[in-house]
Amino acid sequence: MFQKTTLKNGLRVLTSSTPKSFSIGICLLVKVGSRYENEKNAGVAHFLEHMFFKGSRKWPSQKELSFVVEGNGGYFNGRTGKNLTSFDIKIPKEKTEKGVEILLDMILYP
């Protein structure tokens, strides 16, 4: 079961708890996908999704970004669909703050 919280800035946050789990998953969904494209910009949503994994401000290369995620026992992925693009990370529970830091840095400072 999910709990939905809407922040003051309009961001909707869904949370769920699995007490015996050793890891956490964080998924950011953005309302961007092929549905919003036309003939001139077809494929741009998927292209941009890939660009977020090329590096960030704190980890400026794809190699550094992968190293920090995998070095903390996690993995990350992205998907582009018709209506949404998702960015997710799965990381050990004790590394939750690091997982949030990584995902936010990727999205806010690609």
Per-residue pLDDT tens, the chain, 110 aa: give them: 888 999 898 888 888 888 899 999 999 999 999 999 999 999 999 999 999 999 999 999 999 999 999 999 999 999 999 999 999 999 999 999 999 999 999 999 99
DSSP string computed for 21-87: -SEEEEEEEES-SGGG--STTTTHHHHHHHHTTS--SSS-SHHHHHHHHHHTT-EEEEEE-SS-EEE
In a domain, 86, yes or no: yes
Structural domain that includes position 76? 25-108
Q: Which of 49, 94, 97, 101 is catalytic?
A: 49
Residue 11, pLDDT score: 84
In a domain, 13, yes or no: no
In a domain, 83, yes or no: yes
Query: What is the number of domains present in the chain?
Result: 1
In a domain, 79, yes or no: yes
In a domain, 66, yes or no: yes
CATH number at residue 51: 3.30.830.10
Residue 49 is a catalytic residue:
yes
In a domain, 38, yes or no: yes
In a domain, 20, yes or no: no
In a domain, 32, yes or no: yes
As a whole number of Å, the end-to-end CA separation of the chain is 32
* Whole-model pTM over 0.85: yes
